[in-house]
Structure 1
Amino acid sequence: MNSELKACLPPEWTSAAESDDADVVDFAPIAVGQSGASVHRVTTRHGAFVLKRTSVQEPLATWTLAVAVQRAAAEVGAAPQVVHHDAERRAVLSELIAGDIPFAARYGNPATRAAALAQFAGTIRRVHDLPLEGPLHAMPRADPQAVLRTVHHAAHDIGALPAWVHAHVHALLEEAPPLTDRAPVLSHNDVNPTNIACAGDRLVLLDWQSAAINDPYYDLATAAVFLRMDADASAALLWAYDQATDRQDIESVDRSTIAMLPPRFVWSQRIAAALSGTLFLQMAHHRGHRGDTTSREDDALLLEQVYAQMRAGTVHLHTGEGQWTLGLALLRASRNARHAQDVRNT
């Protein structure tokens, strides 16, 4: 395996493999999200890096575009710098962003929440401000509703889903997206905590394989779902994004001046949560979970309960049961998103 990994590194690092001057290379697997890519920490005399390999079956044009997007985002400090890439092996070597405290923990700590929220909003805004020219001009346009339809059909075909999941997804698919007041932007499209890395005053996004042109609310709404932002926190996030600031004075925002969250943002929350949840149910089936047609929505755990069990070590996302549990929690969050907005407006 190490020989395969070494072949993905810059040739000048490994050309003297038999000499005393050769780099001492060590590879250690990194536990990452659910993309299925092979990810390793690489330690060399040049420093520590991250090597990511996707399937060689991935279309070369798609892979090349994702690398170009990461390079563009890195130029504005929103992604790790690309050190080397190998198109034949679908491998990308990037700088390692190593922090002591995960972003989700920074946001979860009341003492650092405002700074974390501002830092995140500023990073997303820098991505969205990238001009859609050069390689980015060729980016496809995302249609989350169409993707949800495809994923739901696939999940339905391979396993048994609860009736309430079917009903909710069907309702979302029949619902016309609210009009947006924003111009399309380059969107990361998978802003979950495993794809956010921070170290000191740096915050970057990882895994750009899903990037596409999309409504800017989608990235913000996805993060709001996974970080369990209530309506007030979501309003503060939108304020920081619109101010394009990394300042830490979000706590001073008068939430009452933001009468309601934009309908497109709330709709994006519901779509993002339903799409992510259905994907986890599909992955659970692939891991052997038999599904359950009789479970009710009230039987599904809330996201905060799933996170607590993950921290306690009783829910594991590398198992079918853990993926099923998280999937149902995300679908429940999708159902609850509109209700939370309705409560805020009363």
Structure 2
Amino acid sequence: MSAPALHPDLAAALEAAFPGRPVTDVTPLSGGFSGATLLAFAVDGAPYVAKRCAPDPTDPGRFAREAACMRAASERGVAPRLRHADARAGVTIMDRIAGTPLRPTRDPALLGRVAAALRRLHDGPPFPRGPSRMDFLRSLDAQCAALAGAGAGLPAELVRTADALERVSGPHAHAAPCHRDVNPNNVLVAADRVYLVDWTTAGAGDPFVDVAQLGVFAYPRPEQREALLEAYLGRPASDDDRARARVARAIALAYYAAGFFVAAARFGGPPPAGEEPRPLAEVLAAFGAAPERTHPGTVAAALLREMRREAQDVSRGRP
């Protein structure tokens, strides 16, 4: 089988990073919802990944910010080593990690390793600021409306609740360098350490939201999230910590619900007529076992249902 034809920007980046050296074993990888082009390849037997994204007119500084964040994170040992970055072309080249995506587990040792990786990231040098989470949510709302037609964007309740939650978390909005999309597929567990990948949305942010994002899919049970929070803090959680974590969880649920509503509009259409929102734990169990048989609209509705419950607890002042 012949190697896939390379976009000129990718070919130029490979030559800049590895001048005059043969590139072998070129293999396309899935770019996920982002639509990025991902290629695995090898040079002198060493494995690498190249990523190319189309320009985003709504966020012209994204590529430069992503590269800066990834470079800083790699120096902290929580991201693959960055070998080349071209902000104009939107191309990055990094080491390919021999690891596996994080999957739900009750292993306390792994939980501790993941928490330590987040702590190391958040204790590092500051990241540049990017668009706010509400800016990102409005972008998803516009995408959903364009895909669904007739102006049917995200549920108004979701946007309204997210806006209210962001006001509560405002003092922490730029508190630390953050990944800002810590879902299990972006966490690679290797023999020597835990790495975070896909730094597309990285920037200054609220570190508790990073922790909460991880808890949505990888640590769905309350006792798991409590253990994750305490491992991250390195001490027992206080009531103030738990209150802040609850706000962060509601925010994380809102944004992942929005992502699945967009996925439903793009790939699946509306969920089956008359289907009632199901408990999140039940839906996540089915999604983890057979994601291709779980309608994205079903996941979105379950996330929205859980967001509603958490937001109500926030409004009642529950720690």
Q: Tell me the alpha carbon deviations over residues 159-183 of structure 1, each in whole angstroms, 9 at most, x when there is no partner.
A: 3899995435434434541576897
Matched, 1:93 2:100: no
Matched, 1:103 2:102: yes
Structure 1 CA distance for aligned equivalents of residues 187 and 170 of structure 2 = 29
- Following superposition, the deviation at residue 295 of structure 1 comes to 4.5
Task: Tell me the C-alpha RMSD between the 2 structures.
Answer: 3.5
Q: 1:109 to 1:128 in 2, by over 3 A?
A: closer
Q: Which residue matches 2:42?
A: 43
- Following superposition, the deviation at residue 40 of structure 1 comes to 1.4
Matched, 1:7 2:4: no
Matched, 1:173 2:178: no
Q: 1:294 to 1:267 in 2, by over 3 A?
A: farther
Structure 1 CA distance for aligned equivalents of residues 241 and 129 of structure 2 = 28
In structure 2, list runs of 5 or more residues that go unmatched.
none
Structure 1 CA distance for aligned equivalents of residues 173 and 255 of structure 2 = 22
Structure 1 CA distance for aligned equivalents of residues 60 and 143 of structure 2 = 25
Q: Which moved more, 1:278-287 or 1:64-73?
A: 278-287
8 Å CA contact 1:163–1:294 kept in 2: the answer is no
Structure 2 CA distance for aligned equivalents of residues 335 and 126 of structure 1 = 32
- Following superposition, the deviation at residue 232 of structure 1 comes to 2.5
8 Å CA contact 1:69–1:208 kept in 2: the answer is yes
- Following superposition, the deviation at residue 2 of structure 1 comes to 3.1
- Following superposition, the deviation at residue 271 of structure 1 comes to 1.6
Q: 1:62 to 1:74 in 2, by over 3 A?
A: same
Matched, 1:237 2:228: yes
- Following superposition, the deviation at residue 103 of structure 1 comes to 1.6
8 Å CA contact 1:162–1:293 kept in 2: the answer is no
Task: Mark the structure with the bigger radius of gyration.
Answer: 1
Q: 1:23 to 1:277 in 2, by over 3 A?
A: same
Structure 1 CA distance for aligned equivalents of residues 55 and 154 of structure 2 = 38
- Following superposition, the deviation at residue 10 of structure 1 comes to 3.5
Secondary structure, counterpart of 2:168 in structure 1: coil
In structure 1, list runs of 5 or more residues that go unmatched.
16-21, 244-252, 317-321
Q: Which residue matches 2:266?
A: 286
Matched, 1:277 2:268: no
Aligned with 2:133 (options 134, 144, 148): 144
Structure 2 CA distance for aligned equivalents of residues 24 and 179 of structure 1 = 47
Q: 1:109 to 1:194 in 2, by over 3 A?
A: closer
Structure 2 CA distance for aligned equivalents of residues 198 and 327 of structure 1 = 27
Q: Which residue matches 2:298?
A: 325
Q: 1:177 to 1:268 in 2, by over 3 A?
A: same
- Write the letter of the residue equivalent to 1:125: R
8 Å CA contact 1:186–1:214 kept in 2: the answer is yes
Q: Which residue matches 2:61?
A: 61
Structure 2 CA distance for aligned equivalents of residues 140 and 56 of structure 1 = 18
Q: Tell me the alpha carbon deviations over residues 282-314 of structure 1, each in whole angstroms, 9 at most, x when there is no partner.
A: 232133x44369646x43463543443453364
8 Å CA contact 1:37–1:55 kept in 2: the answer is yes
Structure 2 CA distance for aligned equivalents of residues 162 and 335 of structure 1 = 20
- Following superposition, the deviation at residue 13 of structure 1 comes to 3.6
TM-score by length of 1: 0.75
Q: Tell me the alpha carbon deviations over residues 1-21 of structure 1, each in whole angstroms, 9 at most, x when there is no partner.
A: 434344331447463xxxxxx
Q: Which residue matches 2:310?
A: 337
Q: Which residue matches 1:114?
A: 108
TM-score by length of 2: 0.81
- Following superposition, the deviation at residue 201 of structure 1 comes to 2.7
8 Å CA contact 2:102–2:218 kept in 1: the answer is no
Q: Which residue matches 1:128?
A: 122
Q: 1:149 to 1:265 in 2, by over 3 A?
A: farther
Q: Tell me the alpha carbon deviations over residues 77-113 of structure 1, each in whole angstroms, 9 at most, x when there is no partner.
A: 01100112234432111011112x4321xxx333xx2
8 Å CA contact 2:116–2:232 kept in 1: the answer is yes
Q: Which residue matches 1:246?
A: none
Q: 1:268 to 1:80 in 2, by over 3 A?
A: same
Structure 1 CA distance for aligned equivalents of residues 101 and 257 of structure 2 = 22
Q: Which residue matches 2:243?
A: 263
Q: 1:37 to 1:146 in 2, by over 3 A?
A: closer
Secondary structure, counterpart of 2:296 in structure 1: helix
- Write the letter of the residue equivalent to 2:129: P
Please give the residue correspondences for 1:172-321 in structure 2 after superposition, counting only pairs within 5 Å: 172-174=162-164, 176-177=167-168, 184-243=175-234, 258-259=238-239, 262-287=242-267, 289-291=268-270, 295=274, 298-300=276-278, 302-312=280-290, 314-315=292-293
Secondary structure, counterpart of 1:2 in structure 2: coil
Report % sequence identity: 26
